[in-house]
Amino acid sequence: MIRAPLFALALTLGAPALAAPDNDPITPAPTARDWLELAHRPDWSGSWFPVISDQFAQVNTNPPPWKPEVQKQIDHWDAEEKAGRPRGLLLDCLPHGVPTFYLITHNSIEILQTPGRVTILGESDGNRLVRIWTDGRKAPTDPDPSFHGYNIGVWQGDTLAVSTTAILPQTWLAVSEAVGIAIGEGAHVDQKFHLIGPDTLAVDLTITAPAVLTRPWQTRRLFTRKRARSFEIVEGVCRQGDFEETTDKWGNPAWRPVAQSTDGNVVAPTK
């Protein structure tokens, strides 16, 4: 007998919290003009493969201006990597995040343009996705921090200027898959995407990370365009390699864990 009134009371008390907040702007449906406007944007179709050799060259000739106490940690992890004891920044399969997504990827990306938005999709690890809002909005005053942050883009001619804020402080600022440091609080990453050749895309990054850098780090990453179908993005699930095919007790296809070392490489069976 008491339960029904209590339930009604709970619904009443809960109602205000369920109502849409006043500051929740509606994104309007794109118009035909919005779609036509895309035709005037630079053509970034195809797949973009990272110039991996240049990633290493960039770090060697223009390393991040680490704070002295951070430099000691970087030197330690660098020595560990060279000694064959890689730290394995990506072992947990959490996203690279911004800016490491651009800095050290070894896999292709693709860039999708739709009204009010540019979307960057990565291939490997299954969790690389950057939404860049180009609809004129401002960044929220207090967005939830995330691996890829909140991305606002502005077209400056044929250059897309992107400002990334609200990056989770645990997100790596990495120079390789084994050397990096958590980017820390208050990080802000500016990027300028632009073609420097018919099939070469430059991403000019200015990385502001007051917790770990003495000054903003400016660096460039290059991607080359591929149109062959063999370069089209394929599914890349990070943890798939942790499992191998088997069947369950009913005969259904299933997965079971594989043997791996603490460094993550597959371990051969012993006889």
Partner 1 sequence: MLKKILSPGALAATLAIAAPSLAHHSFAMFDQTKVVNLRGTISSYRWVNPHVSLFVEVQEGPVKHGVWAVELTSPGNLTRLGWSRQSLKVGDKVDIEVNPLRDGALGGGFRKATILSTGQVLQARLVEIEKPGG
The reply on whether position 261 binds partner 1 by CB under 8 A is yes
CA angle 141, 25, 165 (to 5 degrees): 30
Which amino acid appears at position 197 of this protein?
G
Q: Can you name the residues that pair with 152 across neighbouring β-strands?
A: 133, 163
Under the criterion CB under 8 A, does residue 57 sit at the interface with partner 1? no
The Cα 152–Cα 132 span in angstroms is 5
Q: Which stretch binds partner 1 (CB under 8 A): 160-168, 181-189, 195-203, 208-216?
A: 195-203
Asked if residue 84 binds partner 1 (CB under 8 A), the reply is yes
With respect to partner 1, which residue has the nearer C-beta, 86 or 99?
Answer: 86
Report 93-112 residues binding partner 1 (CB under 8 A).
93, 106-108
Does 125 engage in binding with partner 1 (CB under 8 A)?
yes
Determine if 221 is a binding residue for partner 1 (CB under 8 A). Answer: no
> Taking CB under 8 A as the rule, does residue 82 contact partner 1?
yes
Which residue of 61, 235, 249, 252 would you call a contact of partner 1, by CB under 8 A?
A: 235
Q: Rank residues 186 and 264 by Cβ distance to partner 1 and give the closer one.
A: 264
Q: Shortest approach of partner 1 to residue 10 CB, angstroms? A: 39
Tell me, by CB under 8 A, how many residues bind partner 1: 65
| Interacting span for partner 1 (CB under 8 A) from 19-27, 37-45, 142-150, 240-248 | 240-248
Q: Are 16 and 169 in contact (CB under 8 A)?
A: no
Q: Which of 51, 59, 139, 161 binds partner 1 (CB under 8 A)?
A: 51
Q: Would you count residue 230 as binding partner 1 (CB under 8 A)? A: yes
Minimal distance in Å, beta carbon 99 to partner 1? 18
Q: Is the dihedral of CA 48, 50, 54, 55 positive or negative?
A: positive
Would you say 101 and 132 are in contact if contact means Cβ atoms under 8 Å apart? no
Residue position matching structure tokens 């191998």 = 244
Interface residues toward partner 1, by CB under 8 A? 49-54, 81-93, 106-108, 123-126, 176-178, 197-200, 224-228, 230-231, 233-242, 244, 256-257, 260-271
